């Protein structure tokens, strides 16, 4: 704001507008509601709930429990749930062959959730890392993750998810060109209304560790080759900002309806740049490491956990996010509805 429009002290005392709760609420620039939250959830192939040790308060849910969670989301006003699979290690292979299984845990969970609460959207991760024995997001050949053969597998996976009733496909693999190929395949198969939220700016981050425990892909391997492979060969370099705009532009051009920045809090500058450049629905993922840090510090009494949770979620809205994918969603929604 230009300085010439501001009156000098004491004519202007900014604290006047902060003196009471009602005045602070009256002039508040941004608001947070349950409608801004997407509930990140891990489903597993067994029964009941299985706690994730590095993410206190987060459980892997059975298909039955996921359906109950969809009803809870409806009651809390949470509009969408993002589901991720935990696959038993003995059932994984180098090609991630279970990723497109129409009878697999994701297909069954999507159907159960939509039957239980059809008003709640379901978003599915399109990536191979939960299904591969090497933990990478794509197929490995010649000592590297190969782009185009991976896209073929991703399209099979995405079409299966759409057929199961998934509302939003969210490719998180970071292969070049996958949004355009997936969109073409959806159109060809008649899935005209299936949305795509692209992980457009996904960085090679240290904040994903607890998630890899949650889905059981914690140790990255090399598959059938002997050379180590780094996810930095396909995820973005944390030192880069301009590159994110190129990635977002490509994905929107190829047919993404919405875009995502991942991780969240360490990349709010990227969120702001994307929103200002494209004015497209932009989301951020408050990833497992962010969740774990807040809950761990809260458990040790170092911070007020609930206030830190709400403050962190508010930061996404202030940066320009249309919404945020977070493991805090049900807890935050209950707080907002109190």
* Tens digits of residue pLDDT in 121-173: 999 999 999 999 999 999 999 999 999 999 999 999 999 999 999 999 999 99
What residues contact residue 333 under an 8 Å CB cut-off, 6+ apart?
A: 34, 37, 76, 77, 78
Tokens (6 digits) for 296: 């761990």
Rounded Cα–Cα distance for residues 119 and 188 (Å): 26
pTM: 0.95
Res 224 pLDDT > 50: no
- Biggest alpha carbon–alpha carbon distance for the chain: 73
Res 233 pLDDT > 80: yes
In the chain, what are the domain boundaries?
A: 31-337
Rounded Cα–Cα distance for residues 208 and 333 (Å): 24
Rounded Cα–Cα distance for residues 324 and 322 (Å): 7
Active site residues: 202, 262
* Tens digits of residue pLDDT in 181-211: 999 999 999 999 999 999 999 999 999 999 9
Which CATH topology does 31-337 take? TIM Barrel (3.20.20)
């Amino acid at each position: 704001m230009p300085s010439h429009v501001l009156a000098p002290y004491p004519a202007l005392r900014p604290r006047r507008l902060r003196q009471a709760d009602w005045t602070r609420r009256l002039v508040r620039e941004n608001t947070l509601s349950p409608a801004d939250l997407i509930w990140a959830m891990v489903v597993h192939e067994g029964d009941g709930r299985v706690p994730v040790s590095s993410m206190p308060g987060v459980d892997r849910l059975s298909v039955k429990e996921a359906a109950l969670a969809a009803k809870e989301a409806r009651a809390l006003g949470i509009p969408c749930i993002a589901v991720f699979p935990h696959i038993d290690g003995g059932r994984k292979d180098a090609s991630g062959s279970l990723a497109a299984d129409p009878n697999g845990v994701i297909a069954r969970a999507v159907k159960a959730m939509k039957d239980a609460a059809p008003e709640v959207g379901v978003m599915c991760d399109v990536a191979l890392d939960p299904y591969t024995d090497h933990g990478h997001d794509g197929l490995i050949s010649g000592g590297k993750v190969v782009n185009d053969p991976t896209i073929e597998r991703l399209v099979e996976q995405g079409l299966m998810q759409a057929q199961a009733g998934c509302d939003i496909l969210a490719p998180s693999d970071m292969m070049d060109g996958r949004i355009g190929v997936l969109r073409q395949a959806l159109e060809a198969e008649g899935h005209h209304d299936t949305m795509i939220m692209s992980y457009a700016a996904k960085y090679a981050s240290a904040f994903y560790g607890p998630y890899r425990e949650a889905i059981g892909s914690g140790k990255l391997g090399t598959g059938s080759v002997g050379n180590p492979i780094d996810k930095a060969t396909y995820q973005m370099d944390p030192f880069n900002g301009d590159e994110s705009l190129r990635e977002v532009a490509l994905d929107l051009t190829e047919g993404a309806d919405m875009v995502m920045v991942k991780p969240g809090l360490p990349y709010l500058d990227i969120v702001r740049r994307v929103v200002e450049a494209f004015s497209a629905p932009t989301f951020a993922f408050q990833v497992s490491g962010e969740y774990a840090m807040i809950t761990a510090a809260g458990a040790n009494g170092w911070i007020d956990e609930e206030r830190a949770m709400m403050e962190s979620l508010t930061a996404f809205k202030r940066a320009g996010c249309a919404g945020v994918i977070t493991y805090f969603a049900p807890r935050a929604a209950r707080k907002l509805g109190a």
